[in-house]
Amino acid sequence: MDFLTRDVLVLTFAALMGVAIMAYVILDGYDLGVGVLMSQAKGHDRDQMIHSIAPFWDANETWLVLGTGILLVAFPTAHGMILNATYVAVLIMLIGLILRGVSFELRVKAPAHLTDFWNHIFVFGSAIAGLAQGFMLGHFVVAFRDDLASLLFAALVAPCVLSAYTLMGASWLILKTEGELQHRAALWGRRALWLTALGIMLVSLATPAVSPRIFARWFSMDRIIIMSPIPLVVVGAVIWLSRWFSQFDESEHEHRSWIPFTLTIGLFLLSGLGLGYSTYPYVVIDQLTIWDAAASTDTLKMILLGVVIVLPPIIIYSAFSYRIFSGKSTHLSEA
């Protein structure tokens, strides 16, 4: 295994961590979004929304465990620095995820008069988890600075990220439901789109503003032409989504109900790619590189063995569940 040099191992784990975090943001993003959108629905629609995510939501959170696990064991220095800077937001996120899990189970087991109570707890847990993740993103973009302007920026990014999750959730409901709920999901998606676009713009402007290195990476003459397709494609996707939502008609668009979900995934991927390009090779912007944060070579080799064992079952299970429960959602027994 001589080819597993330290450079190869560090880059491999950085890529794995990025993929795991991106997978979590997309997969758990839509069910967080559906959870928030339940505040706009009632009765049977709420049940249908829950049924659309029931087979997937707990497995989606596995990617968060994998991503943070890689950060902890492969980049322990970065883990300590990031957790120290975001421990309040992390605590709020965990409370939200716990409330989601508890309410998801109890809403169908509690007496009928308490069902709405647990539905509200599910909405609340989804919202504070999404807001906490948005605050962490904003705080990361400003390199975890604690001045008032940086904290206000992180607080502004938080609802934008929650709106992005809502956009993803609405797109998922268009894909998985029919009738009136599908029409309402198109309306919800259109409303969420512009705050999502604002969040992308804020992060895109703030990242080069906080670091001359990142500014030069995007706006030097030899880079600007090469990288310009990314923001152009993002703008094009936003315009396409806006037109799709505003012109939605079930009879004409049903066979293309996959389009908004696919475009939203594209927005997330391009945004993640742009952020990764901006920050590389730093895991904390202009403070700590992946090379400085990484564990020892022997430790990385040992961890890689564990990842090789754990990752394939996660991928296979996720692919299998999405294959089995493809198509429109139907009533599921949750007893």
Residue 1 lies in a domain: no
The whole-angstrom distance between residue 69's C-alpha and the CA centroid of its chain comes to 17
Range of the domain at 142: 6-324
Q: What angle do CA 204, 127, 322 make, to 5 degrees?
A: 85
Q: Does the structure show a pLDDT above 50 at 335? A: no
Residue 271 lies in a domain: yes
3 state SS of 301:
helix
Distance CA 188, CA 64 (A): 26
Q: What percent of the chain has pLDDT over 70?
A: 95
- Please state the pTM of the whole predicted model: 0.92
Residue 185 lies in a domain: yes
Distance CA 130, CA 93 (A): 7
Do 77 and 292 touch, CB atoms closer than 8 A?
Answer: yes
Residue 103 lies in a domain: yes
Q: What is the pLDDT of residue 223?
A: 78
Q: What is the pLDDT of residue 155?
A: 96
7-32 average pLDDT score: 92
How many residues can be counted in the chain?
A: 335
How many domains would you assign to the chain?
A: 1
Distance CA 116, CA 110 (A): 10
Residue 144 lies in a domain: yes
Residue 330 lies in a domain: no
Q: What is the pLDDT of residue 124?
A: 96
What digits encode the pLDDT tens for the residues 222-244? 777 787 888 889 999 999 999 99
Which candidate, 66, 54, 88, places its Cα nearest to that of 16?
A: 66
176-197 average pLDDT score: 91
Residue 179 lies in a domain: yes
* Higher per-residue confidence, 254 vs 192: 192
Residue 329 lies in a domain: no
